[in-house]
């Protein structure tokens, strides 16, 4: 049986938004390969996709973090985005691939 997120969504095991987030994370990990700051090789099950959309209409920005690095900056980063009215979407591989 295929356990891809899309297949799981089609079987009704997870919602479609979660499946799309998981596949987007997978593609981003495959493209980026390593964490931009630490150089750690990324694993989709321990990676976090951060997608920010500025309030002023500028282009959205996406980056993949190693989960350990994200855990160290998540609270501060989230607070800074909220303060500036920046839309923050986080897809955590530890959750979507659990």
Q: pLDDT digit string (tens) for 24-42? A: 999 999 999 999 999 999 9
Both structure tokens of 13: 């095991």
The rounded percent of the chain whose pLDDT value lies above 90 is 69
For the entire predicted model, the pTM comes to: 0.86
- Smallest CA-to-CA distance from 4 within 24, 25, 31, 22 is with 22
Starting at the edge strand found earlier in the chain, the sheet holding 47-53 runs 61-66, 47-53, 87-92
* Per-domain residue ranges of the chain: 5-96
3-class DSSP assignment, residue 12: coil
Q: How far apart are CA 63 and CA 76, in angstroms?
A: 16
pLDDT grade, residue 9 (50/70/90)? confident
pLDDT reading at 63 higher than 70:
yes
66 and 40 Cβ atoms separated by less than 8 Å: yes
């Amino acid at each position: 049986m295929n356990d891809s997120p899309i297949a799981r969504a089609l079987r009704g095991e997870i919602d479609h938004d979660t499946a799309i987030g998981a596949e987007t994370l997978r593609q981003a990990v495959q493209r980026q390969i390593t964490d931009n700051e630490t150089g750690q090789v990324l694993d989709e099950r321990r990676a976090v996709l951060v997608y920010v959309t500025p309030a002023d209409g500028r282009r959205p920005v996406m980056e993949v973090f190693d989960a350990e690095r994200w855990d160290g900056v998540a609270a501060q980063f989230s607070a800074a985005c909220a303060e500036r009215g920046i839309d923050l979407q986080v897809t955590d591989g530890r959750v979507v691939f659990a």
